[in-house]
Amino acid sequence: MDTKIATYNTASARFCKTRAIAREWLQAGKVHYNQQRAKPSKSVEIGAIIKMPMGYDERIVVVKRLLDKRQSAEIAQTLYEETASSIAQREKNQQARKLSLFHSPRPDSRPDKKQRRQIIQFKQQ
């Protein structure tokens, strides 16, 4: 079965919402196929390793099956398997983001005029 990466990402495995987003990822060089930058015309094989961005993290998956048509989300999740190292790295990054938010709190609102004057006065001391 000869399936292109853009087709695999969107129609089959649902990594992206649309084919256009998948094409942008591929043309920008954000998707790696077996440790090499992928092009939209690259054919996908079973057992291939695909590395792609997912929010703030990167996701590394191994292709288990290929489909020609878009299927339900439950079926799409059976097409690939995320590597253990990828899952561990994503969880580690998530914990780091939570800690950084905890240690750098932000005020609920902007300072008013009096508070801004106090901040300026404090900085000039």
Q: Are 8 and 44 in contact (CB under 8 A)?
A: yes
Helices (H), the chain: 5-7, 19-27, 73-76, 84-103, 113-124
What's the pLDDT at 117? Answer: 95
Q: Are 90 and 59 in contact (CB under 8 A)?
A: yes
Q: pTM higher than 0.75 for the full model? A: no
CA distance 41 to 25: 13
CA distance 90 to 83: 11
Tens of pLDDT along the chain (125 residues)?
555 655 455 445 778 877 788 888 888 888 898 988 888 777 888 899 999 888 888 999 999 888 777 778 788 888 889 999 999 999 999 998 888 877 777 778 899 999 999 999 999 98
What's the pLDDT at 11? Answer: 47
Q: Are 12 and 70 in contact (CB under 8 A)?
A: yes
Domains and CATH numbers, the chain: 3-124 (3.10.290.10)
Return contacts of 102-111, CB within 8 angstroms, 24+ apart. Answer: none
